[in-house]
Structure 1
Amino acid sequence: MDVQEVIDSLPRYVQPLLVTVEVTLASAALALVVAFALGLMTSSKHLAVRTPARVFVEFIRGSSVVVQLFWFAFAMPVVLGIQFDYAIVAGIIALGLNYGAYCSEVVRGAIAAVPKGQLEASLAVNFTPFQRLRLVVLPQAWPEMIPSLCAFAIMLLKASALVSLISVTDLTAMAGLIGGRDGGVNQLPHYALILVVYFILAWLIWTGMRALERKAKRGLGVDAKQVKGRLTPAVAEKGLT
């Protein structure tokens, strides 16, 4: 194992690292928007709103993310005539929609976990549906979403390596290119390197999401060490003030 060769190749990993971070952040932002949109739609009492969202979620979750990636990158330009200027855009859309569909169940479940008494109380004070959502439902549901969203964010980071399948040079693709120059005999140290890099990135995501969870719970007056899924009477009272 030539460690010096790996050290000398580190500058070549800078741009692929930025690509991996860009894909992860952009896909996560899209996934969050999709998750809230689909989560709210699947929580609706109206069948005309709930059914299309449910069909979309089940279709995305029931098909392979690799196939979806190839569809946006290669099939869509042929079938629908929609051509993306950059392959990375197709990767971001595919990953964002896929993980957004999964995360929508997190959103739906957290909304459903809000105590019914809170909704009844908000109706009693004549809150509009938007006020109920903004002032009562989301403030209480958001802290409960964060741990699951953190797990999906880390999974999305690891899935970002799939963009190498559509000719986007990320960390995984660069490790294969550099390590495969001599018939693949030098790939092990390069894959060991990016293994550590992915771990560091995942740790940063976990740390950031934990800080966000503590901040969200402090905003509701909940102790960060409190048992998950339980809201104190003080939280319920604060949700209506």
Structure 2
Amino acid sequence: MTDWFGYLNLILQGAIVTVELTIMGSALALVFAFLAGLGRISRFFVVRALATTYIEFFRGTSIFVQLFWVYFVLPVIGFELTPLQAGVLGLGLNVGAYGAEVVRGAILSVGKEQYEACVALNLSRFQCMRKVIMPQALLVMLPTFGNNAIELLKATSVVSLISLADMTFQAQVVRSQTGNTFVPFATILVLYFIFATLIAWGMRMLERRMARGIDGVRV
């Protein structure tokens, strides 16, 4: 029994790493999503081209390959990263590419009359985006951002490939030491479900809170 408590502690340590990856990876993905999403609707061709290249590349290639490039190839050209940094960067870049299309689609979904109102009020392009368009677009983005965060949570399991001791890595360690597959993997199954439920609940609460500030919106 004492041994099993020790093994459970290993998995919980891995859970902390998983949470860190999810939080930091989601934050980085959000930054890339807005940069690339806004870049896709930029008036400048070069900005649109760079944003489109980033989005299509990271959506069109495997996250496994991306992670190996970040961890094993970047050091060759002088960018040395710890496993945690590589995991955060790889996950952030990958999920950010999907989030960029969410940002673009949400902004374009705002009615033309809103832009016409900005012109009538003599608002600059930046003021129009910040005060009128973005608050409405954010409400559209939130449900998909929540899904992306959950997908990122589940994708953290790939970091075990670069020897980062997340939940999946620790479950594999416990399995190799005990020969028992059911207990460690049932444990991380439950933990993944709990974390995903918390993310979904948090995004739902945020969505409700933002909706209260927009007339005519009911969540």
- For the superposition of Structure 1 and Structure 2, which TM-score range results when normalised by the shorter chain? over 0.9
The percent identity for this pair of structures is: 45
Matches within 5 A, 1:31-180: 31-78=29-76, 80-84=77-81, 86-180=82-176
1:220 and 2:214 aligned: yes
1:4-54 superposed Cα distances (whole Å, 9 cap, x missing partner): 864552222232111000000000000001000110010123222211111
Where structure 2 has 5 or more consecutive residues not aligned to the other structure, the ranges are none
Secondary structure of the residue that 1:181 maps to in structure 2?
helix
C-alpha distance in structure 2 between counterparts of 1:92 and 1:32, whole Å: 12
Decide whether the 8 Å contact of 1:60 with 1:98 is kept in 2. Answer: yes
TM-score norm. by structure 2 comes to 0.95
> Aligned match of 2:28 in 27, 30, 36?
30
C-alpha distance in structure 2 between counterparts of 1:155 and 1:67, whole Å: 17
Secondary structure of the residue that 1:9 maps to in structure 2?
helix
C-alpha distance in structure 2 between counterparts of 1:4 and 1:189, whole Å: 15
Residue 201 of structure 1 aligns to which amino acid in structure 2?
A: F
C-alpha distance in structure 1 between counterparts of 2:12 and 2:115, whole Å: 50
C-alpha distance in structure 2 between counterparts of 1:123 and 1:221, whole Å: 21
Decide whether the 8 Å contact of 1:6 with 1:189 is kept in 2. Answer: no
1:119-142 superposed Cα distances (whole Å, 9 cap, x missing partner): 011012111111011001101100
Aligned to 1:15: 13
Residue 27 of structure 2 aligns to which amino acid in structure 1?
A: A
TM-score norm. by structure 1 comes to 0.87
Residue 33 of structure 1 aligns to which amino acid in structure 2?
A: V
Q: Which moved more, 1:131-140 or 1:13-22?
A: 13-22
Decide whether the 8 Å contact of 1:42 with 1:50 is kept in 2. Answer: yes
Deviation at 1:87, TM superposition (A): 1.1
C-alpha distance in structure 1 between counterparts of 2:36 and 2:74, whole Å: 23
Decide whether the 8 Å contact of 1:38 with 1:104 is kept in 2. Answer: yes
